[in-house]
Structure 1
């Protein structure tokens, strides 16, 4: 008898848990046409030493862009890239400036 009651409760839960009407959320995106967009951003904070940015443009299957970041050694690393169809990601990395390595002075130890 307990098995029949448990089975009936599970059946009722499944029936009431099933959606009774179609979901009216957003429509799934259509990928028939390739995307077209461009964006950019940049951050330069002299107080914390942050300096980085990114820009990208896409028109159909042609994507071009670049990004840069200030490295801890003082150089600016720039990456320019493009993607044309199925060619894959092609990047060129360049550096501006000379690496600066401050002389190391160990703290005195008191022992």
Structure 2
């Protein structure tokens, strides 16, 4: 009985004591200004896909440009900048003259003449049923 009492008393003491809080030290990483350079280009003669992009960032200022050839053959060139003071500004220029293909001539088939036929005349005849007697 004394052993049971000692066990219960030690469990109660452990529960009452709780855990000792341990403070965690967090070191702040120094933040460097953002910097990157990015570019790509596509030149696919098979599909006619011609485009490119270039962008660079130094701190909070972004400069870049992109260009592409539109379906009408005109090349669109966009140069842009973005910063905290002026926001996003884009300058769009178009190079070349649009070329539109001539509409294809459509060949129409002559309409098929529908021939009208008179419906066959049905000969209607009626005869009275034969009367028969059965004994």
TM-score normalised according to structure 2 size:
0.55
Deviations 1:8-34 (A, max 9, x none): xxxxxxxxxxxxxxxxxxxxxx79443
The two structures, once aligned, show a CA RMSD in angstroms of: 1.9
Aligned length, in residue pairs: 82
Matched residue of 2:68: which SS?
strand
Secondary structure of the corresponding residue to residue 89 of structure 1: strand
Question: Which structure 1 segments of 5+ residues have no match?
Answer: 1-29
How far apart are residue 99 of structure 1 and its match? 0.4
SS in 1 for 2:102: coil
Unaligned runs of 5+ residues in structure 2 are 1-28, 112-135
Q: Does 1:39 align with 2:57?
A: no
Name the CA distance, whole Å, in 2 between partners of 1:36 and 1:98: 38
Q: Give the drift of 1:35.
A: 1.2
Structure with the higher strand share, 1 or 2? 1
Whole-angstrom CA distance in 1 between matches of 2:108 and 2:46: 31
User: Shift of residue 47 of structure 1?
Assistant: 1.1
TM-score, normalised relative to structure 1 = 0.66
Q: Distance in 2 between matches of 1:34 and 1:83?
A: 15
Asked which structure has the greater RCO (Cα within 8 Å, sep 6+), the reply is 1
What's the offset of the Cα at 1:107? 2.9
